[in-house]
Structure 1
Amino acid sequence: MIERVWQSRWHPLAWLFWPVAWLFGLVTALRRLGYRRGWLRSQASDVPVIVVGNLTVGGVGKTPLVAWLAGYLQDQGLRVGVVSRGYGRQSRGLVTVSDGQRAEAEALGDEPALLADGGLPVAVAERRSDAVAALAPSCDVLLADDGLQHYAMARAAEVLVVDGERLFGNRWLLPAGPLREPLRRARHCDLVAVRGGGALGLAAVRRLLPGAAVFQFDVHADRVESLSTDDVAPLHTWAGRRVHAVAGIGLPERFFNALRRAGLQVQAHPFPDHHIFRPDDLAFGDDCPVLMTSKDAVKCRHFGDRRLYQVSARVEPGPGFREALNAQVNRLRTLVSTP
């Protein structure tokens, strides 16, 4: 329901919420002004922090992009860590995972746990600056998964992630629209990464953000991996098979449609974003395989259910994206080498 409201400026509820959105925008502008003028303090770090975030609420593919960026930076010879608030975790305070330790989603949150499973040092804290301070001594650069609006954490660069299909909705602020900050905020970001949407989506974002460094990437369902054995197979080899598909992500239909495009017969089971799965959630009364995203799998791998599989994702950067990143990496190297 709310998605339909946020996609149109003519929906009655959008107009009903507009006065509240105006007040929200005023508070947001005053808060940002406070940090820009120095009335509110940002916590600086000894190492550069790259924030990967979005202006809209809902899932746009930040975490897969963070994982890809981390690998890219590591290939450049940099030691990379990830910081996050750890949304949905059942712990409090600062929690860190490093040296390939097995991460538990209950302690870190599902998205940080997924990143830690890839071998990255990860720290979560209510105050992201605390997480930054914990990892800074052992890293050359830190990636903040979300946190574009967390101005208490100083940053060296910002990567704005945009959904190439939904774009910025009706371009109104919460609660009349999906924006956390006005659209003009995007002009201050170093890179704008548009997920999917094809040529039309890329052109639309460039039209809305003239002068911004806008590039495209996409996330493709790649492999099917068992959660209880070493079985791994390309997704296309599952074509024709009947499966249950579960997804506790921002846009479950994106996952279900990816499986359908690969030729699978999908019985879809959407769950709320960051849902904490229990074995009963996956009891569908038959022995058909149950496929899920990697983000959901970190919460289900201890179930010991041989029906469960995760579908891993592959990030594909579009033309010019790597070259733009190279320019940012060269700038960051200067910051890393500055005493």
Structure 2
Amino acid sequence: MTTLVNRLWYGGKRPLWPLYPLVWLYRAIAESRRRRAWQARDERIPVPVVVVGNITVGGTGKSPLTAALTGLLKEHGWQPVILSRGYGGKADHYPLLVSRDTGPDLAGDEPVMLAAESACPVVVDPDRKRGALWALDQKLGNILVCDDGLQHYRLPRDIELAVFDASRGIGNGALIPVGPLREPIERLASVDFVITNGGRLDDIDHPHQFTMTLAPTELRNLVTGDVVSPDRLRGQSVKAVAGIGNPERFFDTLRGLGAQVRPRALADHHRFTPDDLHSEQGEWLIMTAKDAVKCQKIAPDNTWVLAVKAGLPESFRQAFMASVEHCRQSLDSNETVRTHHG
């Protein structure tokens, strides 16, 4: 499936061009939804709201970036709360406060992973504005970071970051279903930062484009908790399973570490069964942290999780924190005016 998507959407051509009438329909619907949501917005949320997302379909590295941003904010004294839709989860009530022990069947895989990796409160709600207001009512923190919410226009936002996989870029530049774009490339004019995962994109013209790197940090055995260096993969035969948006990036990372990879790509947010986790004698079974939260109870003893950490340049760190500080000053100024006129 991934190979087919790469050929249809991420090549230089547009083999699905006969579907262009659907592109126009998709664009009209998307723009109408965005316009209605913006017009229906009421008062600003009283803390800074940061939205991380993308305008392309598929994995780009949004969740590692979200975790990195919360770490940066904590370094500067902020108390971040992560908001998520909770894709794949089916809780019986919302908002849902997520911990590392929450079942991914309730919260979704990414929120549970982020709760474990960031040590921040994570609030899941398909209506992210409702989740945001609930988080503030519960006094969980003083800045909100929304993971994958660029198109969720009901949520007011102060800072937007659009993330791209540098190896894929904007693909053939067409909207769904002819290409991978959720929104026209012109949408980037309104975002504050463009983050490219793995290299710079020359076909994107944005004054604040920064490159992010994802560096493997450790291998953790999912059953025993043992931790070893990723260097142990050199020369090791592995079966790599990945139910993420761009599994080839994961497989390439393992190959770059010297592993002999037998890959199995699965659908994003795949629900794993024991049959998915069979491996050959002598192989290690390697998966991502996102998939691992769904496999804790069914993983065999040879299951290892490759942890990665997002690296961001100092120039971005300074620019991002300056934007956050500007937002705080603006909110404080508005509050002073409301108090004065009240």
TM-score if structure 2 supplies the norm length? 0.90
What is the Cα deviation at residue 45 of structure 1? 2.2
* Amino acid of the structure 1 residue aligned with 2:10: Q
Distance 2:186 2:73 in 1: 29
What is the Cα deviation at residue 32 of structure 1? 2.6
Distance 1:179 1:190 in 2: 19
Residue 73 (structure 1) aligns with: 73
Residue 102 (structure 1) aligns with: 101
Residue 259 (structure 2) aligns with: 264
Against the structure 1 CA distance between its residues 155 and 317, is the aligned structure 2 distance closer, same or farther, given a 3 Å change threshold? same
Contact 2:13 2:172 in 1 (8 A): no
Three-state SS of the structure 1 residue aligned to 2:129 is helix
1:221-248: CA deviation from partner (whole Å, max 9, x where unpaired): 2210011223111101231111211111
Structure 2 gap segments, 5+ residues each: 336-342
Contact 2:48 2:158 in 1 (8 A): yes
Contact 1:215 1:319 in 2 (8 A): no
Contact 1:86 1:125 in 2 (8 A): yes
* Amino acid of the structure 2 residue aligned with 1:258: T
Contact 1:244 1:290 in 2 (8 A): yes
Structure 1 gap segments, 5+ residues each: none
Aligned-pair identity (%): 37
Residue 186 (structure 2) aligns with: 184
Contact 1:245 1:268 in 2 (8 A): yes
Distance 1:28 1:44 in 2: 23
Contact 1:48 1:332 in 2 (8 A): yes
State whether structure 2 residue 21 is matched by structure 1 residue 19.
Answer: yes
Against the structure 1 CA distance between its residues 178 and 79, is the aligned structure 2 distance closer, same or farther, given a 3 Å change threshold? same
Residue 312 (structure 2) aligns with: 317
1:94-151: CA deviation from partner (whole Å, max 9, x where unpaired): 14336x5522211110001101113211111121112112212321101100111111
Contact 1:81 1:122 in 2 (8 A): yes
Against the structure 1 CA distance between its residues 248 and 43, is the aligned structure 2 distance closer, same or farther, given a 3 Å change threshold? farther
Three-state SS of the structure 1 residue aligned to 2:210 is strand
Please identify, of 305-314 and 42-51, the stretch whose mean Cα deviation from structure 2 is larger: 42-51
Please identify, of 86-95 and 328-337, the stretch whose mean Cα deviation from structure 2 is larger: 328-337
* Amino acid of the structure 1 residue aligned with 2:6: E
Three-state SS of the structure 2 residue aligned to 1:83 is strand
What is the Cα deviation at residue 264 of structure 1? 1.2
Distance 1:230 1:284 in 2: 20
State whether structure 2 residue 310 is matched by structure 1 residue 307.
Answer: no
What is the Cα deviation at residue 323 of structure 1? 1.9
What is the Cα deviation at residue 273 of structure 1? 0.8
Contact 1:43 1:152 in 2 (8 A): no
Against the structure 1 CA distance between its residues 319 and 189, is the aligned structure 2 distance closer, same or farther, given a 3 Å change threshold? same
Distance 2:28 2:12 in 1: 20
What is the Cα deviation at residue 87 of structure 1? 0.6
Distance 2:288 2:12 in 1: 33
Please identify, of 56-65 and 166-175, the stretch whose mean Cα deviation from structure 2 is larger: 166-175
Please identify, of 104-113 and 315-324, the stretch whose mean Cα deviation from structure 2 is larger: 315-324
Distance 2:27 2:146 in 1: 24
Distance 1:276 1:47 in 2: 36
Residue 155 (structure 2) aligns with: 153
Distance 2:258 2:280 in 1: 23
CA RMSD of aligned residues (A): 2.0
Distance 2:56 2:134 in 1: 29
Contact 1:249 1:272 in 2 (8 A): yes
What is the number of residues matched between the two proteins? 328
Residue 214 (structure 1) aligns with: 209
* Amino acid of the structure 2 residue aligned with 1:130: R
State whether structure 2 residue 3 is matched by structure 1 residue 7.
Answer: no
1:42-70: CA deviation from partner (whole Å, max 9, x where unpaired): 57423221100000111100000000101
Distance 1:42 1:176 in 2: 35
1:196-231: CA deviation from partner (whole Å, max 9, x where unpaired): 13xxx34x14xx324x31111111222100112231
* Amino acid of the structure 2 residue aligned with 1:104: G
Residue 141 (structure 2) aligns with: 139
Contact 1:70 1:80 in 2 (8 A): yes
Please identify, of 17-26 and 187-196, the stretch whose mean Cα deviation from structure 2 is larger: 17-26
TM-score if structure 1 supplies the norm length? 0.90
Residue 168 (structure 2) aligns with: 166
* Amino acid of the structure 1 residue aligned with 2:102: A
1:288 maps to which of 283, 288, 306:
283
